[in-house]
Structure 1
Amino acid sequence: MSCPRNQALFGGLLCFFMVVLTVSSQGCDKSKCKGPIRYYEELGCKPNIKDGECCASSYDCTHLKNRSAHKCYVNGQEYNIGESLRNEDRSGPCDVACFCNFGYDKAAEFTCAQIDCPRIPVHQGCFLRRHLDSCCNEEEVCPKQNEKIEECSFNGTTYKHGEIFYPNERKMCQCSKSSNDDKKMEVVCRTLSCGIELRRSTELRENCPPVFLPHQLPSQSCSYEYKCQEDMDKVKSTSKSTGGNSQSREITDAMKCKFGNITMNIGDELSQKENDNVKCVCEVPPMPTCTKN
């Protein structure tokens, strides 16, 4: 972006700030931000970002507190007990026969069919072919010698027709025939959902944070394990959480984490019990960030 030289002072300052904001937004890598960002985004929480900063200091998830325990919720939609999940609200092709049902403690939750896809061994020189919208329907393809298999190229890597691949933790892609010309090949991708509201409604109600594995980025990853409050859980305050100086400052509820019925200030950590390999720290409220050691 460039600015004309013959501008008034105000116009020049405005142009300067536009350049700064443009450069700042281009250099913002959300994957480096702290906190379970993908979790917040999927739940529709709103980020609180200070001017000029890349990462949110907290997220507003207050809309979750207004939900009825006798209804199911997903993608901003409300379901009554006994109502079946609509196709547009499915998180993936394996969400089959889902409906809103009474679950733990008589609270509403989605119940879905349990699907266990068989593992197909892939022999050397072969690959698995399936459709993006299929759950378990896949086949092993073993090209014959000198047989030409149509291919696609994506970010410098070649994939065979029907092959599924994951360029990152948020997308699943497939090399397939073009929808406009079946003589051409193209890469088709769809965004992956963590399915939090479908599978973790109890944890949401009880303020149980997601737990991430050591190799996962909480900002980008789905969690398949959650940590709920136990009787012996306590908060271990740090100098960072108490401010580190004698100046008193007001800490609003928006800048605190909630773990079960325990309130944590930023920097607070849950005391780890013996043989507990999960570390939980309040970094970006309202949920503590929990990772396995």
Structure 2
Amino acid sequence: MNLLAIGWEPELRGLLTVVIAVVILMGSIYLIMLTNMGSRLAFLVVLAGLAGWMMLMGLTWWIYGIGLRGPDPTWQPVAGATVLQETDALRSAGALEVLPEVPADATAREEGELVGEQFREEGWVLLDPSSPAFGQAQATASVFLEEEGAFAAGAYVITDVFDIGGDRYPRVKAGKIPGLTNDSLDFFAFFHEPHYVVAEAAPYVQVRDEPGRAPVSPEIDETRQRQYVYMIRDLGARRQPAVVLTLGGGAIFFALCFLLHRRERHLQENLSNSKAVAAA
């Protein structure tokens, strides 16, 4: 009955798989070396080999960003200023330093164009709608808009996405290294400036669905206010588990190598002393 219970419990089955794998793979190697080295020395050698393998595997994962991975970079809401339903809120939230001058008779589309020009004047970059960065920001902004109840699903469209920041430093200029043709080297640019995006959402005109007729293509409602989603980039920690594995495995590996070296040195000293005593 216990075996049947294990077959239906994924937690126990996974635990047994790991235990069996450890016993068969590492245990078999330990058993072979135990017959030649003894239990203690074989244990140190096998454990040092395992730690060295973990260090090399972690280093490979660290370099290529694969294997054991942490959270990927994502867009996160700016605290207290995520969904901005008024143009004036762009300045109070810190997205814009100066608000554009909007005429009293301007339509929602004209006001949006003035806001877009102000973004570009202050150094924001308008992303290409076909770029992956636009698509990622659009998907995340849609989640925030629907969670906040600003729009229902399918009742709006993300028209523009403005991007600023995200530069890495310190960088080495190409002119300082002879023969270097690239603009800069960023192998050691571990620090980043804050990276922000603002996504502009325009509501659709409400359309009635009539049975038996093809749905009408949605159109932007030019009489309703544009809304904006203010987000900051979270760089994540994709390589953090690999870094911990590499450093931890390396520390254990070199510590065991030191113990093996010290044991070998003491063994040689004892053998030389025994030979000297036997010769006397």
TM-score, scaled to structure 1: 0.19
Q: Which has the higher contact order (CA 8 A, sep 6+)?
A: 2
Kindly indicate which of the two structures has a greater share of residues assigned to helix. Answer: 2
Kindly indicate which of the two structures has a greater share of residues assigned to strand. Answer: 1
Look at both structures and tell me which one has the larger radius of gyration over its CA atoms.
2
TM-score, scaled to structure 2: 0.19
